[in-house]
């Protein structure tokens, strides 16, 4: 999982495989600290 900074907030980006085996990418944003984004 990669944590990056987006302005003043942290966001994380990760890849996973769905039930069909297709690789998917997901983003989550709005974390206050880097450690929160990496959890």
13-27 confidence digits (pLDDT tens): 999 999 999 999 999
User: Is there a contact between 31 and 11 (Cβ–Cβ < 8 Å)?
Assistant: yes
Mean pLDDT of 29-38: 89
Query: Residue 6 pLDDT more than 90?
Result: no
What's the full length of the chain, in residues? 39
Look at residue 26 in the predicted model and tell me its pLDDT: 93
């Amino acid at each position: 999982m990669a944590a990056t900074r987006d302005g003043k907030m942290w966001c994380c980006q990760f890849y996973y495989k769905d039930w069909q085996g297709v690789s998917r990418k997901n983003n989550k944003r709005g974390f206050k600290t880097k450690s929160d984004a990496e959890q």
